Structure 1
Amino acid sequence: MLALFGSLAAVPASASEKLYLYTENFPPYNMSATGRAFEHNENSIDGICTEMVKAILQATDLDYVIKLRNWNYGYNRALSKANHGIFCTTYTEERAPLFKWVGPLAQNLWTVFAPPGSTFTMEKLEDAKGKTIGGYRNDVRSEYLLKRGYDVSVIDSDDLNPKRLVLGQIDLWIAERLAGPYLASQQDVEGLVPVFSFNDVDLYLAMSPDTPDEVIEELNEALEITKKDGIFDAIGTKYGL
């Protein structure tokens, strides 16, 4: 990945250039307001992180567009193109040098779900060894499990994993404690059983390393302004956090 990243790295950008920000359908953090898989403008994109990112941007003079795509698409563009970013992205030590970071914006509790009616129990993560776990490409949870030798069946988008779980195509699903049931309900899947939670992590806006430092500074300063103004707390309250 690092070799690929190095070969794709862009010429450093100007602070006056437009920002291109990507997100995915990951409700209630980021989601289409119309139920579509892709969105081309910010007015059609909702969610906790989306509203927080919009509030930050509106406190700056920066020009920007926000688009909703699948995670793998947006993640790779943020890796390789100056002034491109993706949210909400889990901050990890492995990812730290790949991006410049704005945040934290929210928290994320990783959770393993079993299908409705399951009696399967877990006391530790290792209890999932020998099970096929649903995930998706370039998602930090999937990468975490794969590196530790778990059997992870990854697809391009997380949307199909609740159905795969119900149909028995996977045994378990790794998702987020709030977002998992929300996403499942959008696919008419109810009653998923949360069997184990771990790794409470921070979520950020991750920007290409070729994004000028002054842009990152302006975004982080705007973040502090919106926090002091109570905007972040109001967004969290709106979504029941």
Structure 2
Amino acid sequence: MTVLRAERHLALAMGILFSSGVSIAAEMTIMKEDYGQFHYKTDRLGQPQSADATDVTTRRVRQILDRVDVDYRIQLRTWPISYRRASNRSDYGIFPLEKTPDQMNTFEFVGPLATYNWVVYTRPNSDLRIDSLKDLEGLDIGGYQNSSFTRYLTEQGIEVDELPFDALNLKKLTLGYIDAWVTYNVNAESIAREAQYPMPRAAWVVKSVDVYLGINRETDTDLLSAIVNASSGPLVRSTD
């Protein structure tokens, strides 16, 4: 009878362990773009150099996932690779990601992780006055390929020369090949610092946007709920 009771207790304990679930889920892979203050570089072949990034969004993501006690890894890749994998695979996530209507069926958005600004930059000595979309008409403008900011401008009828590497836009701006550069404030600051180029002039702050951790919605429902619940806490600003 004692042995039977012990076996029942063991079975109950195992049931509780496995029903709690989230800490024994398949390992999560969190994709992160390899660029800027939010993003850390890879080698020339696009292979991840390090996932030991310490920017505000990475710190926030680690804080959230550590609360859930799920096994995870942060993998650094180019944006197209990162987005494709996170969009098509369960137990995958991606950050930093802006929340847009077309992504709501693909991702569960966790956060916000940070806030940054959409900014139109000109050369430091430029006297261009820009404070509306109309002021951008007729200008040679450089932007980051597939970014939400670039997509917004093109949808408004503004022509943007898109490049897959935003750092090249600062070089083009500095050398006079474009009149304005549209990017995020943290990207501009990081790129100028790393390239040792003069910081461009912020001619117009279009708006502030929040960025999130996006988790593929095919991920286990209990795990998704646990991650969302773990995300409660103060907003970490990009200026922190």
What TM-score results when the alignment is normalised by the length of structure 2? 0.80
Shift of 1:117: 1.4
Closer/same/farther in 2, CA of residues 179 and 198 from structure 1, 3 Å limit: same
After superposition, residues 47-126 of structure 1 pair within 5 angstroms as: 47-126=55-134
- Please name the residue that 1:21 is paired with: 30
Distance in 1, matches of 2:223 and 2:214, equals 12
1:16 aligned partner, one-letter code: A
Q: What percent of counterpart residues are identical?
A: 27
Question: Which ranges in structure 1 are unaligned for 5 or more consecutive residues?
Answer: 1-14
Matching residue of 1:8? none
1:178 Cα deviation after fit: 3.2
Task: Answer whether contact 1:49 1:105 (CA < 8 A) is retained.
Answer: yes
The answer to whether structure 1 residue 219 and structure 2 residue 227 are counterparts is yes
Counterparts of 1:1-241 in structure 2 under 5 Å?
16-32=25-41, 39-43=48-52, 45-224=53-232, 227=233, 240-241=239-240
Q: Give the Cα–Cα distance (whole angstroms) in 2 for the partners of residues 121 and 28 of structure 1.
A: 28
Of 186-195 and 20-29, more deviation after overlay is shown by 20-29
Cα distance, 1:192 vs. partner?
Answer: 0.2
Structure number with greater Rg is: 2
Assess if the C-alpha contact under 8 Å between 1:134 and 1:170 holds in 2.
yes
Question: What's the CA shift for 1:76?
Answer: 1.7
Offset, 1:196: 0.6
Cα distance in structure 1, aligned partners of 2:221 and 2:145: 29
Q: Report how far residue 71 of structure 1 moved.
A: 1.6
Separation of aligned partners in 2, 1:157 and 1:20: 24
Gaps of 5+ in 2: 1-23
| 1:136 to partner: Cα distance | 2.2
C-alpha contact 2:91 2:215 (8 A) present in aligned 1: yes
Alpha-carbon separation, structure 2, partners of 1:203 and 1:74: 16
TM-score by length of 1: 0.80
Distance between the aligned counterparts of 2:172 and 2:61, measured in 1? 32
